[in-house]
Structure 1
Amino acid sequence: MENSQLKPLISLKYSVTLKLLIIGFLALVLLIPNAFIVSIIEERSFLNEEAIKEIGSKWAESQEIVGPILSIPLVYETEKDGKKTITNEDYQILPHQLKIEGKVLPEILKRGIYKGVVYRSDLVIKGSFVVLDDFDKKDFVGFKTPEAKVSFGVTDLRGIEDEVDFTINGEKKQVNPGTGNFKMIASGFSISMGGSELVVGDSIPFTIRLKLKGSKNLSFIPTGKTTDVHIQSPWTAPKFDGKFLPNNRNLSEEGFTADWKVLELNRNFPQSWVNNAYAENLKSASFGVDLLSPMEDYQKSTRSAKYALMTIGLTFLMFFLVEVLGKKNIHPFQYAMVGFAICLFYILLVSISEQVSFNIAYLISTIAVVGTICLYSLSLFKVKKYTFILATVLLGSFGFLFVTLQMEDYALLMGSIGLFIILATTMYITRNIDWNRMSLGKSEESPDQSS
């Protein structure tokens, strides 16, 4: 009688369906601590961004080069009721040719445990202005040449490291702070054309040598009728952005070179205009390069944590198959311990990667977690063969995840193929199991069913 009362409990204890439900529930519950871990990674990433901003604020911010722009006051004289009125309008002329060549040398600065990318650049800007006459000539008197100037835009003036060498029409000019053309170029410097004679059709060559430092980004506005930009740098992971991508680029372990060519027809503003008609259009044509890694360590850690359910599920599946095929009985608490060990992998990864490179941190975290789980499984499985298979599965899982993280553009493809292979392998291994008659960990010494 007593044995017959225990039969339902024994049946329940060894129920495959019940165990699968418990395992599934545990896997979902473990997503809670994983969510906290993702939150910690995001917090650390935010602190890293704040540190990078602080580094930039002390060094120099991202730099955008604008110009040069030749501004000539136009003098108009009107007469009404016998009274003469004289007015001035600024005639803005862009370079006919603009060629920029530069070297960008990156540096790594630290703020505590966080790192930021800054750079020093050596730029040579050459070109020429052609004095045009496509302005309203009604009541035009002439150019006010003593007030003519050339403005050049630099976003963060703190980045100018040395005296600017500005030569125009063969004459070296004194560089003045401020553009004097603030509605067109908010920040930068200028030179005065003085009493230089300005004749329509004349070509005015110029050369600017500029040593400029900044952080993260260096951009340019294509003010030339034809703008050619050539940049080279030892930085191995550039990101080209803005309105125009390089016409030619070369990436190698020694760094990168990039060439842009932008024509007047490629942009949304003309070669000349009056006053500030196209000030906003200038900003929309910016292009350049970011000196950033293609994927930051925190981003990799966040993406790896998103695969937590797959790693936990695969490990639990391995334990479950050992139960089924090896007639073992593993308690749900032991499943939970293994799941928590996998969750700790991600917190280990982000904390160690703040001190060493991401790849080394990944290796250390993998060895620590896989070693812990395998040593724990020895006492559960009692058979070294199963532990060896488990170690192979775990190393394969973390190895697959590592490869997926490196292949940024093909991450989704790799993930879907990996999941398909896992499913196909599981179906093959379990193809001959009769699940309707299966009991977990039930040996011949189990209570007699006929008692």
Structure 2
Amino acid sequence: MEPVSTPDQPVSLFDRVNHWIRTSTMLKMAAIGILILVLLIPTEMLQALIRERESTRNEAITEVSAKWGGQQVIGGPVLSVPYEVINKDEKGTEQRQTLFAHFLPDDLQITGKVQPEQRNRGIFVVMLYNTRLTIRGSFHKPSIASLGISPEAMQWDKAFLSLGISDMKGIRDAITFRVNKVPLSAEPGIPSNDLLPSGVSASIPIQPETETLQFESAINLNGSTQLSFLPFGKETHVSLQSPWSTPSFTGSFLPDQRSIDEKGFLASWKVLQFNRNFPQQGVGNFLAKSISGYDELPTFGVKLLLPVDEYQKTMRSAKYGILFLILTFVSFFFVEILDRRRIHPIQYLLVGFAICLFYLLLLSISEHLSFDGAYLIGSGIILALITFYVRYVFQNLRLTALFSVILALLYGFFYSLLQLEDYSLLLGSLGLLLILGVIMYLTRNVNWYKAYDAEGVAV
């Protein structure tokens, strides 16, 4: 109602301004907008906290992996033959330099089983594995004519076979090569790191009459999270089996055949030399000459994923926080308009802080329980807290029940968005369309110029 003036008591300017402040719809909406901007601060702080906890988890994984074995990349075997180059300086003095010619296998077959192990570092789960691989294949007698190397420069008696292993700490048993059925003990390190930065090698003198080298080796290796391979064969065949039921096939090539069920997975790859951009033989680091760099070598393999990454889901949930706040405040505002009940900005702010607290509860509980259980517990606690509070704000049991149902539906709606990753945009768009339609229907008779007055809402 407008302030009423009498001849004896005129309405002051202060009273008119105070009345306008209390009943102005636009001013109230502006105040709500400012409150939402204020609540962005704790929302961003919560997202920073989630990133911090995820970083702590990753540090725990790195710490355990450093002692057990990191992500393993297997490359080779590679046959390397040193050769001598004679150069003359400006004074005519001869300088002898030893370089290496490298030859990749014609056929490379790797089979193995990956046995997963879960370890705990505090409250964090670290995904480890042990793998036993059998590597077989063959080399034909190297041809050096295309390399432009003099046959007399080749030191066939100093040839060696090398196998690349990215993290040597993971080796559990001694590695032995069988070349043409002759056992050769491998030694740590590789005489030339042109192609492989770390691994094991074995001396394998090549006789002039040798036409084919058949090799075989077995590896017992520890690693963490991921196992990858380099496609060094003209034909590279890899077959892996594991009881882990949530694998992710990574790298440049997907498996040709795979089967995944609750008992584990079985996957096999076939990669041809035509599927990569480097030749079968060369001198020095010829791989880097064929591609941009060693880091861009095409690898393929498998990553053992944990069934649920609670931090990823919690972060996705927190990103919806601002939308959740807006929809809750909109519901609060329309209860205020339709029931012509003034709600103080402090009361908006307290409800907003309760909604922000939900994401903190979700983060802390999900570190100990499943994400679904944490979401149910957290939303139930906050729903009960807000229902208890608005019961005294509204002073109306029917409005309290209605508001609580709306809040429960919002929690269910956003939970559905988190579950349906592929259809979240479609579901979100339809949900917002439905919410807007309901708001437009409920406010179709509202006179926004007199929203707080008795005649502002048509009956």
Per the normalisation by structure 2, the TM-score is 0.86
Task: Please name the residue that 2:125 is paired with.
Answer: 115
Please list the CA deviations of residues 59-107 of structure 1 after superposition, one character each: whole Å capped at 9, or x if unmatched: 11111101001123457999xxxxx999865332211111112222222
Asked if 1:432 corresponds to 2:445, the answer is yes
Residue of 245, 263, 272 corresponding to 1:254: 263
Q: How far 1:42 moved relative to its partner?
A: 1.8
What is the alpha-carbon distance in structure 2 between the residues aligned to residue 138 and residue 215 of structure 1? 42
What is the alpha-carbon distance in structure 1 between the residues aligned to residue 306 and residue 421 of structure 2? 12
Please list the CA deviations of residues 257-301 of structure 1 after superposition, one character each: whole Å capped at 9, or x if unmatched: 332211111112211223433356565122222223487322222
Asked if 1:98 corresponds to 2:103, the answer is no
Q: How far 1:7 moved relative to its partner?
A: 5.7
CA 1:86–1:380 in 2, change beyond 3 Å: closer, same or farther? Answer: closer
> For the Cα contact (< 8 Å) 2:109–2:238, is it kept in 1?
yes
Q: How far 1:370 moved relative to its partner?
A: 0.8
Residue of 305, 321, 324 corresponding to 1:308: 321
Asked if 1:414 corresponds to 2:423, the answer is no
Residue of 348, 355, 359 corresponding to 1:335: 348
What is the alpha-carbon distance in structure 1 between the residues aligned to residue 227 and residue 138 of structure 2? 23
> For the Cα contact (< 8 Å) 1:77–1:140, is it kept in 2?
no
Q: Greater CA deviation, 106-115 or 210-219?
A: 106-115
Please list the CA deviations of residues 96-128 of structure 1 after superposition, one character each: whole Å capped at 9, or x if unmatched: 111112222222222222232221111111111
CA 1:58–1:440 in 2, change beyond 3 Å: closer, same or farther? Answer: farther
Task: Please name the residue that 1:227 is paired with.
Answer: 236
Residue of 37, 40, 55 corresponding to 2:49: 40
Matched length: 437
Please list the CA deviations of residues 9-52 of structure 1 after superposition, one character each: whole Å capped at 9, or x if unmatched: 34532333332222222122111222222222222222222222
Task: Please name the residue that 1:132 is paired with.
Answer: 142
CA 1:355–1:92 in 2, change beyond 3 Å: closer, same or farther? Answer: same
Task: Please name the residue that 2:30 is paired with.
Answer: 21
- One-letter amino acid matched to 1:28: L
Task: Please name the residue that 1:214 is paired with.
Answer: 223
Task: Please name the residue that 2:371 is paired with.
Answer: 358
Please list the CA deviations of residues 415-438 of structure 1 after superposition, one character each: whole Å capped at 9, or x if unmatched: 333322222221122223232332
What value does the CA root-mean-square deviation take over the aligned residues? 2.9
What is the alpha-carbon distance in structure 1 between the residues aligned to residue 376 and residue 34 of structure 2? 30
Higher relative contact order (Cα pairs below 8 Å, separated by 6+ residues): 1
CA 1:103–1:414 in 2, change beyond 3 Å: closer, same or farther? Answer: farther
Please list the CA deviations of residues 359-383 of structure 1 after superposition, one character each: whole Å capped at 9, or x if unmatched: 2111111111111111112122233
Task: Please name the residue that 1:321 is paired with.
Answer: 334
Q: How far 1:142 moved relative to its partner?
A: 8.0
> For the Cα contact (< 8 Å) 2:127–2:306, is it kept in 1?
no
- Work out the percentage of aligned pairs sharing the same amino acid: 40
Task: Please name the residue that 1:183 is paired with.
Answer: 194
**Could you list the runs of 5+ residues in structure 1 that have no partner in the other structure?**
79-83, 444-451
Please list the CA deviations of residues 179-223 of structure 1 after superposition, one character each: whole Å capped at 9, or x if unmatched: 2222222211112224x53546x2322221111111122111101
What is the alpha-carbon distance in structure 1 between the residues aligned to residue 449 and residue 151 of structure 2? 99
Q: How far 1:146 moved relative to its partner?
A: 2.9
What is the alpha-carbon distance in structure 1 between the residues aligned to residue 149 and residue 67 of structure 2? 51
Q: How far 1:410 moved relative to its partner?
A: 3.8
What is the alpha-carbon distance in structure 1 between the residues aligned to residue 353 and residue 453 of structure 2? 23
What are the residue-to-residue correspondences of 1:132-171 with 2, within 5 Å? 132-135=142-145, 136=147, 139-141=150-152, 144-171=155-182
Asked if 1:381 corresponds to 2:390, the answer is no
CA 1:436–1:93 in 2, change beyond 3 Å: closer, same or farther? Answer: same
Asked if 1:242 corresponds to 2:255, the answer is no
**Could you list the runs of 5+ residues in structure 2 that have no partner in the other structure?**
1-5, 88-93
Please list the CA deviations of residues 311-335 of structure 1 after superposition, one character each: whole Å capped at 9, or x if unmatched: 1111112122222222323222211
Please list the CA deviations of residues 334-393 of structure 1 after superposition, one character each: whole Å capped at 9, or x if unmatched: 111111100101111111122222221111111111111111121222333322222222
CA 1:341–1:77 in 2, change beyond 3 Å: closer, same or farther? Answer: closer
- One-letter amino acid matched to 1:254: K
What is the alpha-carbon distance in structure 2 between the residues aligned to residue 165 and residue 158 of structure 1? 17
Residue of 192, 195, 208 corresponding to 2:203: 192
CA 1:254–1:423 in 2, change beyond 3 Å: closer, same or farther? Answer: farther
Per the normalisation by structure 1, the TM-score is 0.88
SS in 1 for 2:57: helix
Task: Please name the residue that 1:347 is paired with.
Answer: 360
> For the Cα contact (< 8 Å) 1:98–1:226, is it kept in 2?
yes
